[in-house]
Amino acid sequence: MKSKTTMILRAAPALLALFWGLTPLPPAEAAEEPPEPGSVSFNIRYFDKRVYFVETDPVYVQITIANNSPAAYRFKLADERAFSVDFDIRTMNNRPLDAADTLIRKRTASRQVFFREILVESGESFSFVEDLRDYVNLSRPGSYIVQARVYPELYRSDAAPTAARMLQSNRLNLNLRAASIPGPDGVPLAMDVETNAILAREKLAPDEVVSYLLSARQKTQWEKFFLYLDLEAMISRDPVLKRQWLAEGEEGRRRILERYRRELESAVTDGDIATIPTDFTIERTEYNNLEGTVTALEEFKTGNYTERKRYTYYLQRKDDIWTVVDYSVVNLGTK
């Protein structure tokens, strides 16, 4: 997925510190005239849109501040984002949800607040990602409306949130589902974000399975990406993880699977298979009744260059369903 945002940071060499609630904030010093009101836009979107459950799923939201004015725009961004950002999440009956306990503790403690001054040039934008669970108590299933606030001069508990002190974002719809449905292996069944239906494996040919997996990765549709990926077989490729897997009981193995999924999503492990291809072509498919291999030529955008890699996916057939159990990569250089 290509990012359309450009981040320009011009911060002081050393972090600036203030004692929260004890020392008044000094006015921002800027050589440029501030942009006209309304010329700085503030937009939010889901960073990795998916079906969200009440339990522990993080709900990542990407925050983008765009400067549409002819002048540079400056604002303060706290290292502890709770002093720069807030989220107002309401039910369909317009009842606000309670703030998260961690947010309350951060804002009521006597502490130093470190921040940087961010400069966004005309026509540029600045983005960062936050988890809604760090701000609001999301403990019940239901439908909600999400709106964010950014405080350019930092959040102050003793200052009224006027239009001059904060920027308000667009609104997002948030649907939280009840406890996920466990599958036969104990791992929750995947849900299709687009249709809200339970994803089910179909009798696809090996090359169709690989095309499905790569297309899902291009669209950041993680649940579809994992649908034909045999996570237990992927874990067994690592001798250390395999020993841990064999030593664990049912509950322990479920935790290993969940951790491996999270690490794949964040590219902590097996980053090659989780990298997003800008384009791919299925080159060759070979299979018998039980095993198969699919070779794909994949391209990845890296700066001004395009990397080319040849992936070989190894698949196994069980109950008429083909799944990916291993892969290998050969670098072919750039073009």
Question: If pLDDT is split at 50, 70 and 90, which confidence band does 295 have?
Answer: very high
Give CATH superfamily name and number for 206-334. Tgt2/MlaC (3.10.450.710)
Question: For residue 55, what pLDDT is reported?
Answer: 65
Residues 27-39 pLDDT 10s? 333 333 444 545 8
User: pLDDT class for 178, splitting at 50, 70, 90?
Assistant: low
- Average pLDDT over the chain reads 79
Is the model's pLDDT at 288 over the cut of 90? Answer: yes
Lowest mean pLDDT among 203-217, 244-258, 286-300: 244-258
pLDDT at residue 194, rounded to an integer: 53
- Do 34 and 73 meet the contact criterion of CB atoms below 8 Å apart? yes
- Greatest mean pLDDT among 8-17, 38-47, 226-235, 293-302 lies in 293-302
Q: Comparing C-alpha atoms, which of 286, 273, 271, 270 is closest to residue 206?
A: 286
Instruction: State the Cα–Cα distance between residues 227 and 288, nearest whole angstrom.
Output: 22
Taking the C-alpha atoms of residue 108 and residue 181, their distance in angstroms, rounded to an integer, is 39
Tell me the mean pLDDT in the region 193-215: 80
- Within 10 Å of residue 155's Cβ, how many Cβ atoms? 21
Could you give the maximum distance between any two Cα atoms of the chain, in Å?
73
Q: With 60 as the cut, is the pLDDT of residue 282 above it?
A: yes
Half-sphere exposure of 65 (CA within 13 A, CB side): 27
Same fold, 16-177 and 206-334: no
pLDDT surpassing 70 at residue 268: no
- CB burial class (10 A; 0-12, 13-18, 19+) of residue 68? middle
Question: How far apart (Å, rounded) are the C-alpha atoms in residues 101 and 41?
Answer: 30
pLDDT tens, residue by residue, 230-240: 888 888 888 88
Residue 31 pLDDT:
35
Neighbouring CB atoms inside 10 A of 330's CB total 10
Residue 51 vs residue 164, higher pLDDT: 51
Please name every residue paired with 90 in a beta bridge, in sequence order, or none if there are none. Answer: 96, 145
In terms of average pLDDT, the best of 58-62, 299-303, 322-326 is: 322-326
Give the tokens for residue 58.
């993080």
**b/e 97-119 (16+ beta carbons within 10 angstroms → b):** bebbeebeebbeeeeebebbbbb
Instruction: List, for residues 42-90, the tens digit of each pLDDT value.
Output: 899 998 777 777 766 688 899 999 998 889 999 999 988 889 999 999 9
Q: How far is 166 from 155, CA to CA, in rounded Å?
A: 9
Whether residue 220 is predicted with pLDDT greater than 70 in this model: the reply is: yes
pLDDT tens digits, one per residue of 245-256: 888 887 788 888
Domain boundaries, the chain: 16-177, 206-334
CATH number of the structural domain 16-177: 2.60.40.2360
Amino acid identity of residue 66, one-letter, is A
